[in-house]
Structure 1
Amino acid sequence: MNRRTFLAAATAAGLALPLRPLWAQPASATDWRVRESEGFDAIAFLGPLSGRDLYRRYYAADADAFAAKLPADIRTDIVALWQEAEPAVGLFWPSLTTFLSGIPLTSIDAVIAALADPERTVRPSYQASSYWDADNWAWFAKTAPRIRRVFEAMRAADFSGFRKARTGELGPRIGEVQRALAGYDVIKWQRKLTGRTFDPAIDIYLLQFSKPHGVKVQGQAFLQAADYDVATTVRIAAHEMLHPPVPMDGPVAKAALATLGKDPLITRIVREHDPKWGYTTLEGLLNEDMCEALDQMISEALGVARNPADRWRKADDGMHVLAAGLYGLLRQDGWAEKGGSIEAWLGAATRAGRLAPAVLHPAAARVLERPADALWPVPKPTD
């Protein structure tokens, strides 16, 4: 499974609401729908309970307090499930949301009920989605009884009460985010820069335990931390709705992958980067980095963008060199101004040799503001 997660900037926890961009139009193509979900939060809490530093930096105290209520064998199996999931389907809790998100997950009870008979409750929506993968499903179906026991133990330890004590009342925050998003027409820009159709509705689930991820799930929906500022929400939406940017099993993507597969730098990044970030296949990296290139342009148009050099230097140990290169090429072509079919653009760029190192690396270097022969790993600052 190509992990469709967006790692939000560490500075995203502020609650300040950005001003509506002056060029935003009253009639928006985007219908924002903001809500919460105890079920998704229960799944996300498997991150902190795994003991991984990526999650403990945000939730160490919560994880320690709740883990003490769980049986020792359940705590051990959570760690084992993470280890088994990564080579099979990717990061454990984001992958679970992909499988389960086709059904309402209003509570931990709903998660447990779905896992009792996944062939009947989970498979129909998952198989009908763009994320269907027979091998991934085989792993999930085999593992579902173990996963269900974990959630049963969490229910017995009163996860619902534990979460409520920490979230407080999310209603005011939901309303605040809903109102602030009204001026940001993400769907209009996604349609323009991809040439694809998008449903107007975007569903956002505000969670307590999801940092540092923003996760795309089935449909036009994603998960994010409740205390992220609205600029971060817009950036996550601009990114997550794009997956996949082109059909990854189609001839255009395959031709691009064949070219990138000959690039020593890009293949080295796939092979040697820290696997905790995901994107451990070339296909997964192309999927992610095309979305990042496009979301950067959308964020710029909406007035919520980060500096691209800073963004891609800091994110995921600087591994998204391909995103910077694709973004640089799209900027050269004036893509934000004219838009069109991104699949047609990728096909033309591949045929013209623009994805080869001689063109792609200099384009990335201009964006990243460092030499083409020092794109990755990111050079450490000198004193």
Structure 2
Amino acid sequence: MKRTLLGFALGAALISGQAQAAQHTQWKFTPSVTFDALCLAGVMADDPFYVPYYQKQHDELGAKLTPQARAAFKAITARSKAEGDIASAWLALTFSAAEADTLPELIAAAEHPAAMKARLQASRFWDDTAWARFEALRPDILTVLRWYRDIDFPAYWRADAEGPVKAALAEIAPKLEQTDVMPLVEQVLGRRLDSGEIQVVAARYCRPHGIRVTGDRFLTDPTYPKDRVLSIVGGTSVHEMLHPPFDSKDPRVLAAIAVARADPFVQARFQGHNASFGYNTIEGLFDEDSTQALDQVINERIGFAFKGGDAGERWRAADDGLHVMAAAIYVLMKQEKFLESGQDYVTFLDRMVREGRLAPGKIEALVPAAVRAGPRP
């Protein structure tokens, strides 16, 4: 990103094992009008899952919607959801390859997407189906982006979002500088990240999601209440830097996914879950649950754990109790002292499957009782 608000180095000692060569974390925080525009896709499509998070923006911007723009937002959101994606997250990931810092640059990237496509293809996030969707929806996407231009969305964003985001970033920066995320993340991934820098795109309109995009970047909202913002921004930084935590074509990973597919307890939670949560394939759910288990053990170590470190409460409350595989993997990690072992995640996962610790029919017994009971009514 060209407009960097804050950048600072965080010092910490290197840890043992594979992390001995790990990088020290550099943090950069950047407000972004372009990512915020993309993140409003579900809100402007009147999706009842998103509107409650941004009722004010829905009403104010909705009053300016043309029939064509409204129909385009709905088409983008419906097609994304039908194909198992979250529209805002998919748009943000796709356009992150454009490096567009202004609305005119975003429009130009949609009008002439060859360079964006090439950069996306060169990343680990390339997906043939997702790009086919982009091409099919490109007229609707251009309708939406040109509508943003016509209503001067950047002026609205400056008045509504930029000030609170900058104030929130100034508040949390001194606290984040006490931690070093990169060594533990690289240890569990078993590889170096693209750089030693984490770029936090401070998106005011991305709730309730954290969104991974190309490079060592992710989106999160820093304006949550003060008693929760550090765990949300810090915890999300760890979570999103872990995505994806493995090569999805690795035979060891495929064997573990087969466990989730064959386990009746996992399937009982997966089948029929609210599609707005995302994770609408078992592969996508396993990716997310692996990442959640990993971020929980790391965040407990460095002080960013969600729900005050109560892992059971986290997974009882999240997404209607969907993430039972995360809870099971987390329990195995704690039993096996995973972080202390120096193993990377795929090696650990493979060992759990080969030893029969992670097997169909054994997941429910690993899951804490509160999570097994499901969310409160």
Partner of 1:103: 98
Q: Percent identity?
A: 31
Partner of 1:237: 237
Match of 2:352 among 340, 349, 362: 349
Partner of 2:330: 327
CA distance in 1, matches of 2:241, 2:285: 16
Match of 1:340 among 336, 343, 358: 343
Q: Does 1:45 align with 2:40?
A: yes
8 Å contact 1:40–1:105 — kept in the other structure?
Answer: no
Between stretches 48-57 and 109-118, larger displacement belongs to 48-57
Deviation of 1:89 (Å): 5.3
Partner of 1:4: none
8 Å contact 2:107–2:142 — kept in the other structure?
Answer: yes
Change (3 A) 1:88 1:359: closer
Deviation of 1:129 (Å): 1.0
Partner of 1:123: 117
Partner of 1:274: 274
Partner of 2:220: 224
Between stretches 139-148 and 167-176, larger displacement belongs to 167-176
Match of 1:150 among 128, 140, 144: 144
**Structural mapping, 1:151-230, within 5 Å:** 151-169=145-163, 170-198=165-193, 199-228=195-224, 229-230=229-230
Change (3 A) 1:143 1:192: same
Change (3 A) 1:142 1:369: closer
Change (3 A) 1:216 1:256: same
8 Å contact 1:194–1:245 — kept in the other structure?
Answer: yes
CA distance in 1, matches of 2:348, 2:162: 47
- Listed one character per residue, the Cα deviations across residues 130-149 of structure 1 (whole Å, up to 9, x for unaligned) are 11111211111221122011
Deviation of 1:173 (Å): 3.8
Question: TM (normalized to structure 1)?
Answer: 0.86
8 Å contact 1:34–1:178 — kept in the other structure?
Answer: no
What is the letter of the counterpart of residue 219 of structure 1?
G
8 Å contact 1:184–1:234 — kept in the other structure?
Answer: no
Runs ≥4 in structure 1, deviation > 4 angstroms? none
Change (3 A) 1:77 1:339: same
Deviation of 1:77 (Å): 2.3
Structure 2: which 5+ residue stretches go unaligned?
Answer: 1-10, 15-22
Match of 1:25 among 4, 7, 12: 12
Task: Classify the secondary structure of the residue corresponding to 1:272.
Answer: coil
CA distance in 2, matches of 1:315, 1:379: 8
Deviation of 1:56 (Å): 1.5
What is the letter of the counterpart of residue 40 of structure 1?
F
Deviation of 1:314 (Å): 0.6
Structure 1: which 5+ residue stretches go unaligned?
Answer: 1-23
CA distance in 2, matches of 1:26, 1:193: 17
What is the letter of the counterpart of residue 319 of structure 2?
D
CA distance in 2, matches of 1:168, 1:123: 29
Task: Classify the secondary structure of the residue corresponding to 1:32.
Answer: strand
Deviation of 1:180 (Å): 2.7
Change (3 A) 1:112 1:379: closer
Change (3 A) 1:168 1:100: closer
Deviation of 1:121 (Å): 2.7
Deviation of 1:33 (Å): 0.7
8 Å contact 1:70–1:154 — kept in the other structure?
Answer: no
Deviation of 1:362 (Å): 1.4
- Listed one character per residue, the Cα deviations across residues 157-176 of structure 1 (whole Å, up to 9, x for unaligned) are 11111111112434444344
CA RMSD of superposed structures (Å) = 2.0
Deviation of 1:358 (Å): 4.2
What is the letter of the counterpart of residue 222 of structure 1?
F
CA distance in 1, matches of 2:375, 2:42: 30
Q: Does 1:141 align with 2:135?
A: yes
Question: TM (normalized to structure 2)?
Answer: 0.88
Higher relative contact order (CA 8 A, sep 6+): 1
Partner of 2:5: none
Deviation of 1:357 (Å): 3.9
CA distance in 2, matches of 1:64, 1:86: 23
What is the letter of the counterpart of residue 155 of structure 1?
R
CA distance in 2, matches of 1:35, 1:49: 24
